[in-house]
Amino acid sequence: MAYNPYNLEGKLALVTGAGTGIGRGVALELARQGADVVLHFAHSSQGALEAVEQIKAMGHRAHAVQADLRQVNECLRLVDEAAEFLGGLDGLVSNAGLTATIKFLDMTEERFDRIFNLNIRGEYFCAQQAVRHILKRGEELHRIHPDGTWTGGSIVNISSAHGAVGCANHTAYAGTKGAINAFSRTLAVELCPQHIRVNVIAPGTIEVPSYFTLDPDYSREEANKIVPWGRVGLPADVGYLAAYLLSDASEFMTGQVLYFDGGLTAKMALPIQPTEGERAS
């Protein structure tokens, strides 16, 4: 069979926050493309276990691990358990995070710490431990195939459009997403010599189950009107991009923040659209 750089057959991946929403969509798509996957969850055990069974039905290995990624020791344990189950690690998709809509003057120290500890500290230390295992994986593949070329490992951090554009009542949340973007770009440069690439997916409006549970008035029809492309994104959409970033086809891409939002951050937000024609600026 001809080599397909988009194929994830034989890849070993960990996805955090994979019990629901974007993380679950990513984990399922990685498996569809051939990867064996460990799914992390904090509270969504049922969703994670159901996804594990779906992946096994595809003919791939899968396992679910619970961890509180606000705690550094839990980050390290999760990555170690994932690598032990899989027999190594080729890639990490860090999706676990907490969305918070809180007025600036209502933010408390406890809430602030909870948001930052999960959204940025969790991604940071999961990545740190993952790098150790990815380097070992590269050494093992070189030992098995001494004449082969290792295309490298891949870390994909999930950020948000909030890291680029302002939205009221999201100060702490947006701060974590901006931190993820900056941290990931710098890590990408640092890891180039080790041949581990680091990229960010920054989704815009991606419809997840919490949209319906937290807002009883939410409807896809109304949400579609917000997005220039004409529809909201779905977790599977993010999965397609994540699968590419974990594949050999993305071997030359690192240090990028990819705004995945149907044109949302590209659109100038004006209360009325200007009339056509030329005018002095």
Residue 278: per-residue pLDDT? 58
Considering 72-81, 99-108, 148-157, 267-276, the range whose residues carry the highest mean pLDDT is: 72-81
* φ and ψ of 26, to 5 deg: -65, -50
Q: Is the pLDDT of residue 1 over 70?
A: no
Active site residues: 159-160, 173, 177
269-279 per-residue burial string, b: 16 or more CB within 10 A, e: under 16: eeeeeeeeeee
Sequence ranges of the domains in the chain = 12-260
Band of residue 277 on the pLDDT scale cut at 50, 70, 90: low
Under DSSP, the state recorded for 212 is H
What is the enclosing helix (H) or strand (E) of 75? Answer: helix 72-86
What is the per-residue pLDDT across 40-68, written as a single tens digit (0 to 9) for each?
Answer: 999 999 999 999 999 999 999 999 999 99
Residue 202: per-residue pLDDT? 95
Cα separation of 147 and 88, whole Å?
Answer: 20
| Alpha-carbon dihedral sign for residues 103, 104, 107, 112 | positive
Beta carbons of 94 and 16 less than 8 angstroms apart: yes
Band of residue 263 on the pLDDT scale cut at 50, 70, 90: very high
| Alpha-carbon dihedral sign for residues 173, 179, 182, 186 | negative
| Alpha-carbon dihedral sign for residues 268, 273, 278, 281 | negative
Residues 1, 197, 137: CA angle, nearest 5 degrees: 65
% of the chain exceeding 70 in pLDDT: 95
What is the per-residue pLDDT across 113-128, written as a single tens digit (0 to 9) for each?
Answer: 999 999 999 999 999 9
Higher pLDDT, 88 or 102: 88
What is the per-residue pLDDT across 150-160, written as a single tens digit (0 to 9) for each?
Answer: 889 999 999 99
What is the per-residue pLDDT across 172-210, written as a single tens digit (0 to 9) for each?
Answer: 989 999 999 999 999 999 999 999 999 999 999 888 887
Beta carbons of 121 and 157 less than 8 angstroms apart: no
Residue 122: per-residue pLDDT? 95
Higher pLDDT, 262 or 166: 262
Cα–Cα distances in angstroms (integers) from residue 63 to residues 5, 51, 81, 195, 257, in the given order: 25, 9, 10, 27, 29
Arithmetic mean of pLDDT, 255-279 = 78
Fold assignment, 12-260: Rossmann fold (3.40.50)
Q: Are strands 91-94 and 257-260 parallel, antiparallel or unpaired?
A: unpaired
* φ and ψ of 15, to 5 deg: -120, 125
